[in-house]
Chains A and B, each alone.
Chain A
Amino acid sequence: MADQHSDSEQRPSPDALLAEARREEEGRVGRLKIFVGAAPGVGKTYEMLTAARAKQKEGVDVIVGVVETHGRKETEALLDGLEVLGRKPTDYAGRTLHEFDIDAALARRPSLILIDELAHTNVSGSRHPKRYQDVEELLDASIDVYTTVNVQHIESLNDVVAQITRVRVREIVPDAIFDRADAIELVDLTPEDLIQRLKEGKVYVPKQAERALRHYFSPANLTALRELALRRTAERVDEQLLEQMRARAIPGPWAAGERILVCIGEDPRSAGLIRYAKRLADRLRAPWTALYIETTRSLDFTEADRDRIAETLRLAERLDAEAVSIPAAGRRVADDVLGYARKSNVTHIIVGKSERSRWFEMLHGSVVHDLVRRAGNISVHVIAGEKLPEATTVRATVVTDDARPFDAIPYLAAFSAVALAFGVSLLAESVLGLNVDLIFLTAVVGTAVRYGLWPSLLAALTASLTYNFFFLPPIYTFTIADPANVAAFLLFSALAVLISRLAARGWHHTVAAQERVRVVESLYGFSRKLAGAGALDDVLWATAYQIAMMLKVRVVLLLPDNGSIAVKAGYPPEDALDEADLAAAKWAWEKARPAGRDSDALPGAKWLFMPMRTGRGAIGIVGISREDPAPLLRADQRRLLDALADQGALAIERVHLVEDIDRVRRTAETERLRSALLTSISHDLKTPLAGIIGSAGALRDLSQSFDAQSKDDLLSTIIEESERLNRFIANLLDMTRLESGAVVPNTAAHDVGEIVGSALERASKILAGHRVEVEISPELPMVMVDAVLFEQVLFNLLDNAAKYAPPATTVRVASWRDGETVKVQVLDEGDGIPDADLERIFDKFYRARKGDQVRAGTGLGLAISRGFIEALSGTIVAANRMNPKGAVFTITLPVLKADERKKYAA
């Protein structure tokens, strides 16, 4: 085991190699260099410009994307000779701000671009809310970036900096971009020098923040910030070293298998715990997990609490933690935490210091104490959070539709219940001499069960007062004479309040449970609806409708279309997107990330676009919007949207898969027909050709040995076989025309008899051996047909009859009017058609068999006939008749209506 272990450690780690390869791969992703400073004024911009000039001398194509010189002469001098990209003027709140122009930068495509102040927040209406997102896009476009940042802007250090300096920085850069940097350069200056520079006016200080910043630049603060900057940079350098060592399989000080678990709750200080855990995890190079235990208490949480928990978990994910939320299993939360910790080999648990009163802890127990007592060999870190100004990272989501307006009815009902109890009590006391406190208690319990906590507390109060006033001596006063009654009254009040609380909690749970049942039922109904929907349109519509109904939003669904995406469905259906929204939707599609309103990308759009994903990747985009400018979704609604979008995505994918299968099946059918066609063609072309070539050859080479009769026979064979070949080719051409949709009927009013006559004339040679009867009703109206097509149909039917009916039998053509249709029949006296084949004979290449002998023919004549007749809006069917036995083909054509005839004649 030990050998194996060390063996595997000698090998380069694949992940580390991959990461390195990605960085080394030229041209794919730009390289990022960050100039880090401990505080403003240390000279980051100066340093960056110096480095850029050096690069420019090496011949690198350098431009300045955005640089703030704050009027410093030395810095401005460095800009000389560098190309500076124009800023984009953006109007905001009546002022014109000049922002970095990312589109111009992407169009210009330099090798290296300088972007000062990474933590800058872009003016609203820009493509990204944050400048670091602009930088990410530039890197993705394989442009190298130099940028600057002060250490207090780094997310995981945000709390520490705020604690040190008492100033909370609102502009934050996630650690991820810091970690992705290929090079970090610390621009260091001793606190003394920096303060000196400040005194000389070399540090830019905005007027309105002058006082605050002067406090900020105290020697103690600067020393602490400098240490932070040094340490964070050292950590990053250390990581790079480790990655290289791993990639080269150098045995080294690997992480000692540490694993950190941070417990979070609804407490606003949880975010601070998360940042602490991140710092610890980075120092220990340990993986970490943020854990939230859902207890029965969570049911009582307000929406704000729930949002905060979701936000905290999301923050943890952003900082590379695994975010886990599990329901409480045991009575004690500590047991659940420890259970999870042991299962996951956690070595450190981080919890917040409790702020609860001793009373609360005596009643409910203390999670922290439990943990410390029972953690065994797991270290427990108890962190004292500080009440800090609300962090900017928690985006306050205003809950609009849950802030219910005050409803007076439950309170009136509480009064009524007590009044009723009072009435009943009067009766009960005078008639039965009962103790009435139980009657009042009943009213309180009833109110609690029906209307929840506050109305029931009101009922408890009124009930106590009424009971005291009307029933406890001396009555009609709020004083109580008997000490025993005082005790009874206090007991009654306490009981009323206690029951109110208990019943109300039950009520709250019921409401929450009903709500969840409603959501689950809707989701179930939705999945059933999707399962039943076969067509893509139905699936899209059902998805859009469901999302619109459950989240009370407008919905559009976009699917890929010709290399881009286009709106395919919406609810309400008339929704169309304007240019800006469509751009956000495209961004969401291309990056497979949320975009638009309330998101990180293009937040100026009116819609929020989320990718709909399946296991095979993004399949479409769902967009939602509402007139109301408040945030679109609460955290739980966002989860619901994810669930709905996922279900919709799966259904869309299913439809696509079914379509794929259909296509494959159709291709297979086409293949089968093609091979049948090939067989048929090779047989039907070769047979007559063999006859023609043989006969002609015999006539040329052996003419002396033939008598006149034989020569005549050979010549007849040549002519007959040629005619057969000609018919076959004509059929093939007709079939091709039908299948390519080239048959456009040239319809006109025609006399059936005339066309029958022409067909009989053409078929006269074929029918020479048969008797032919024609019976056409004299009152037959004209029919709307294409004479050429219809004659071909009749010819095919006559040809068929001649082939399948024995010689000397009668072939009959009949036509008569039948209501609003004209019937044309061709009847023969052959063996008829096997019942099973009555439909199939109209299939391509199908030939009725007689025994195992296939009659000569193309197998196309009837298929063409049906195709032509259908092109003429008619029908053709085959049937059998008895006495005389034979086949009957019946064509039904619509009669030209009187008004149409008039119109036609006009």
Chain B
Amino acid sequence: MSATSAKILVVDDEPPIRKLLRMGLVSQGYDVLEAQNGKVALELLSNNPDLVILDLGLPDIDGLELLKRIRQRENSLPIVVLSSRGDEAGKVAALDLGADDYVTKPFGMEELFARMRAALRHQLQVQGELPLFHVGDLSVDLVRRIVKLSDKEVKLSPKEYDLLRLLVQHAGKVLTHKFLMQELWDEPTDPQYLRVYVRQLRQKIEPDPERPQHIMTEIGIGYRLRAPD
């Protein structure tokens, strides 16, 4: 995809962080809008940004509250949240409120760019889904429901396939336990069933299930399928 003129709204009250993000994003060819608080951020939404980078600790409006208001106005605008370690509950809440992904402070630029790319790509995918997915030696054909590892077909149970399909459809994005369970089961279900399926799926598609390369565990949050770059 062309990264040329995508407009990024950076919401953070710390000038050094805004400066760092501006420099990094401009170097990648993005346009940058900066907001030092929630009020300015809501005003700048009228400039139609393509993605929001949102710090949860803002001086005027609670980060989660702001997230909710942005979602009310812009249903499909990708949002990447900046949060601190140890605040797993905050991250899950943000994701459940509709954030696309999160980055833990302090973060490396590469990591942030990868999350942004996944979020932007997912938005494009919603508009036109990619039927074929390739990452490393794993390939998934979403139309014909065929999963191959090193060109060898892998037999998956229907639930395992549904789980993999969800991960593939949101490749590169973190999916919370809650989201996955809602998608996979009609009834409220215990998270340990999800863990059981993840383990079974890993046994089938990971070369070394103890050190997974495809399905990454985000401790305390959920799972993420490593996206092709």
Contact = CB atoms under 8 A, between A and B. Distances in A.
B190 interface: yes
B219 A787 contact: yes
A782 B216 contact: no
Contacts of B196: 751
A903 to B, nearest CB: 11
B96 to A, nearest CB: 16
Contacts of B198: 754
B160 interface: no
Interface residues of B, number: 23
A201 to B, nearest CB: 91
A726 B86 CA distance: 13
B141 interface: no
A788 B217 contact: no
A791 B219 CA distance: 8
B59 interface: no
Interface in A768-782: 772, 774, 776, 782
Contacts of A719: 108
A748 B192 contact: yes
Nearest to B85: A730
Interface string B52-89: 00000000000000000000000000000000011010
B151 interface: no
Contact of B210 (A746, A776, A782, A905): A776
Interface in B188-229: 190-193, 195-196, 198-199, 208-212, 216-220
Contacts of A782: 192, 195
Given A753-B210, A757-B211, A788 B192 contact: no
Contacts of A776: 210
B199 A754 contact: yes
A722 interface: yes
A328 to B, nearest CB: 83
Nearest to B177: A748
A746 B108 CA distance: 29
Contact of A757 (B190, B217, B220): B217
B88 A788 contact: yes
Nearest to B196: A751
B199 A751 contact: yes
A756 B210 contact: yes
Q: Of residues A719, A726, A734, A754, which shows the largest number of chain B Cβ atoms within 10 Å of its Cβ?
A: A754
Nearest to A782: B192
A102 B85 CA distance: 67
Interface string B153-192: 0000000000000000000000000000000000000111
Contacts of B190: 749, 904-905
Contact of A748 (B88, B191, B218): B191
B106 A722 contact: yes
Given A753-B199, A782-B192, A788 B219 contact: yes
A753 B190 CA distance: 19
A750 B177 CA distance: 13
B225 to A, nearest CB: 14
A774 B191 CA distance: 25
Given A761-B211, A788-B88, A755 B199 contact: no
A758 interface: yes
A760 interface: yes
B216 A761 contact: yes
A750 B211 CA distance: 16
Interface in A728-755: 730, 733-734, 737, 746, 748-751, 753-755
Nearest to A786: B220
A737 B108 CA distance: 26
Contacts of A905: 190, 192-193
Contacts of A750: 192, 195
Contacts of B219: 755, 758, 787-788, 791
User: 6 tightest A-B contacts by CB?
Assistant: A788-B220, A749-B192, A774-B210, A758-B217, A791-B219, A787-B219
13 contacts: A733-B86, A746-B220, A749-B190, A749-B192, A753-B199, A753-B209, A754-B199, A755-B219, A757-B209, A758-B218, A761-B211, A782-B195, A788-B219
